[in-house]
């Protein structure tokens, strides 16, 4: 394991933020900027939001910036030159891979949304970086290969997803010996239930993208907001937890906890249940993973339990959240099934946000794609991308027919 714990007098750790213009990227930069003696920004990437990325470059003065295409790169490079900045602009996936695996980088925040983050995140793992994993889709798609790459490298993987970060904090340091060996009975994965937790089922078909993106507790990117509303997010997180902690799907129980104060729990055989609590602000898990095993200020205000007053729990309803059932089935099927589930979901969410399908059709589309493409075994990354590609085509075909 990469020991990046800091002792006095050392140089700041160099951080690449993949997906810097997004919600997680901005929260990461907020924490990093609070600790200039500990961290400095090495590279920032944004896909299409060149103006946002330009502003971030002015503020953080990275050595590299990466954008999606040559035109955006020329635009950004021109602006940065005018500002007198030496930042070099790189393009596309090659650029992302370069700044993720660069020999001068210590820490990589993997916060690109969706399948687009897989290769750059793997590049960081293969280059033995401290990898802060927000991009859950990468692990869902390629779980076995990803975890093998981790074992073959000396990378350290720290979960940023608040639930997995909480579980990591509640597990003993030697949990990789096996959950049952360290006395874990099950993992309790908490879920807010999203904006539609109490809406009459008959109204779900009529909800708008704006309603789906208005999460009651968290402010996040649009794709994960829709995933939270459908609870596909929890389904992806169930698969993520199985890979990260070597758990079987049956060992992970989803519990709805509307206040989002407990970020997840670990239930031990002696009856102890350990939980991690905090205000719902992603800067807490980000600061935890940046500084681990030390602790640094994240800017998050202290938890006021007296003001919160009560914590509630309920079981998820399969009729309301069919995506959770589909994800659990994909976790159990293994092989390419999670990659197929993820790809179909990406297309479905995109179609819902573009108002081409109803909210309730997200699950219909994914179920159709999973039924049409049986799971196959995964031997290499090409198998994963092939499944991803076939699932996207099948999903688009379904879209054309409805």
Select the binding partner of residue 220 from Mg ion, ligand NAD, none (C-beta < 5 to 8 A, by kind).
Answer: ligand NAD
Q: Which of 137, 161, 281, 388 binds Mg ion (CB under 5 A)?
A: 161
Nearer to ligand NAD, 20 or 357 (CB): 20
Select the binding partner of residue 169 from ligand NAD, Mg ion, none (C-beta < 5 to 8 A, by kind).
Answer: none
Please state the length of the chain: 402
Q: What residues line the site for ligand NAD (CB under 6 A)?
A: 19-25, 46-47, 49, 68, 111-113, 116, 134-137, 161, 218, 220-221, 223-224, 282
Rounded to a whole number of angstroms, the minimum distance from the CB of residue 371 to ligand NAD is 25
- CA-based torsion, 267, 273, 278, 279: positive or negative: positive
Rounded to a whole number of angstroms, the minimum distance from the CB of residue 136 to Mg ion is 8
Site size toward Mg ion, by CB under 5 A? 3
User: What is the phi-psi region of residue 71: left when phi exceeds 0, alpha when psi lies from -120 to 50, beta otherwise?
Assistant: alpha
Closest CA to 266 of 176, 147, 133, 172: 172
Select the binding partner of residue 218 from Mg ion, ligand NAD, none (C-beta < 5 to 8 A, by kind).
Answer: ligand NAD
Rounded to a whole number of angstroms, the minimum distance from the CB of residue 66 to ligand NAD is 8
CA distance 25 to 34: 15
Restricted to residues 36-75, the positions that interact with Mg ion (CB under 5 A) are: none
Nearer to ligand NAD, 232 or 368 (CB): 232
CA distance 109 to 371: 35
Closest CA to 330 of 256, 395, 253, 249: 249
Select the binding partner of residue 56 from ligand NAD, Mg ion, none (C-beta < 5 to 8 A, by kind).
Answer: none
Contact predicate 326/194, CB 8 Å: no
266: CB partners within 8 A, 6+ apart: 167, 170, 171, 184, 187, 188, 273, 274
Nearer to ligand NAD, 80 or 111 (CB): 111
Q: HSE on the CB side for 354, CA within 13 Å?
A: 8
Select the binding partner of residue 142 from ligand NAD, Mg ion, none (C-beta < 5 to 8 A, by kind).
Answer: none
Contact predicate 338/143, CB 8 Å: yes
Q: Which stretch binds Mg ion (CB under 5 A): 155-163, 269-277, 303-311, 342-350?
A: 155-163
């Amino acid at each position: 394991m990469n020991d990046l714990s800091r002792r006095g007098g050392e140089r700041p750790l160099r951080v690449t933020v993949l997906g810097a213009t997004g919600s997680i990227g901005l929260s990461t930069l907020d924490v990093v900027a609070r600790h200039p003696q500990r961290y400095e920004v090495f590279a920032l990437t944004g896909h299409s939001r060149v103006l946002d990325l330009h502003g971030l470059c002015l503020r953080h003065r990275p050595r590299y910036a990466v954008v999606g295409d040559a035109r955006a790169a020329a635009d950004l490079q021109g602006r940065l030159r005018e500002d007198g900045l030496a930042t070099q602009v790189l393009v596309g996936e090659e650029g992302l891979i370069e700044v993720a695996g660069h020999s001068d980088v210590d820490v990589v925040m993997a916060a690109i949304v969706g399948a687009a983050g897989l290769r750059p995140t793997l590049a960081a793992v293969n280059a033995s970086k401290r990898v802060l994993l927000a991009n859950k889709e990468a692990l869902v798609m390629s779980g076995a290969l990803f975890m093998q790459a981790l074992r073959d490298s000396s990378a350290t993987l720290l979960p940023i997803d608040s639930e997995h970060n909480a579980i990591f904090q509640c597990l003993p340091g030697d949990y990789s010996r096996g959950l049952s060996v360290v006395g874990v009975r099950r993992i309790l994965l908490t879920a807010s239930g999203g904006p539609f937790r109490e809406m009459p089922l008959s109204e779900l078909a009529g909800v708008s993208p704006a309603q789906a993106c208005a999460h009651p507790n968290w402010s996040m990117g649009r794709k994960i907001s829709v995933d939270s509303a459908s609870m596909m997010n929890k389904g992806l997180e169930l698969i993520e937890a199985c890979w990260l902690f070597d758990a079987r799907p049956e060992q992970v129980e989803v519990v709805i906890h509307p206040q989002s104060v407990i970020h997840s729990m670990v239930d031990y055989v002696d009856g102890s249940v350990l939980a991690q609590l905090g205000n719902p602000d992603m800067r807490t898990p980000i600061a935890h993973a940046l500084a681990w095993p030390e602790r640094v200020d994240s800017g998050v205000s202290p938890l006021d339990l007296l003001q919160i007053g009560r914590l509630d729990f309920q079981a998820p309803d399969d009729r309301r959240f069919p995506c959770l059932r589909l994800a659990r089935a994909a976790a159990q099927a293994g092989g390419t099934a999670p990659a197929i589930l993820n790809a179909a979901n990406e297309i479905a969410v995109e179609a819902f946000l573009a108002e081409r399908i109803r909210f309730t059709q997200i699950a219909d589309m994914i179920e159709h794609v999973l039924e049409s493409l049986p799971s196959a075994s995964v031997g290499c990354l090409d198998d994963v991308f092939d499944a991803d590609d076939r699932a996207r085509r099948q999903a688009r075909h379904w879209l054309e027919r409805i």
